[in-house]
Amino acid sequence: MAMTRMVRAGLAAALAVVTMLAGCDNQRIKELEEGVSTEMDVRAKFGEPEFVWQEPDGSRTFEYNRQPMGARNYMITIGTDGKMSALRQVLAPHNFEKIQPGMSQEQVRRILGMPAKAVPYNLKQTVEWDWNWIDPPTRQMHFTVVFGPDFRVKNSYSAEKLHDGP
């Protein structure tokens, strides 16, 4: 009984953190404007990016991950003029559809950002990457990409998260 209360308290605390992060992100996003906000503005609001992707046109895309506690990942593009040209939350069905068999791990990360977890299955010779995401308004989901021994996508799928207890 005490263990159940401890688990519930832990889950409630985790939910509070996720809610707080989402609220903070929403406020930060409202304070940035495409074509006006600078790289310095983006770094002031979001901090240092997890990774910086160099684009063919000379712009750069900053990767901001909210995994594993959150349910969003952001890609923020800084144009060659030093101003923010795009801010996208990338964990959404229209991006999941872009994941195709044969893609490399780098190509997948480039689209979705860093996963919440990566789990190797040695006997099956696969690795599964999972992302947490929200199917509006509140359905908690995960998106999984399965990589084969060649580190290329075998398949992918989305499923509702299962929760223990009532």
Same domain membership, residue 111 and residue 82: no
**pLDDT per residue as tens digits for the range 108-147:** 999 999 999 999 999 999 999 999 999 989 899 999 999 9
Query: CATH number of the domain that 123 lies in?
Result: 3.30.1450.10
**pLDDT per residue as tens digits for the range 45-63:** 999 999 999 999 999 999 9
**In the chain, how many domains are there?**
2
Query: CATH number of the domain that 35 lies in?
Result: 3.30.1450
pTM of the model as a whole? 0.81
Of the two residues 142 and 19, the one the predictor is more confident about is: 142
DSSP letter for 161, please.
P
Domain with 120 in it: 93-160
Same domain membership, residue 29 and residue 80: yes
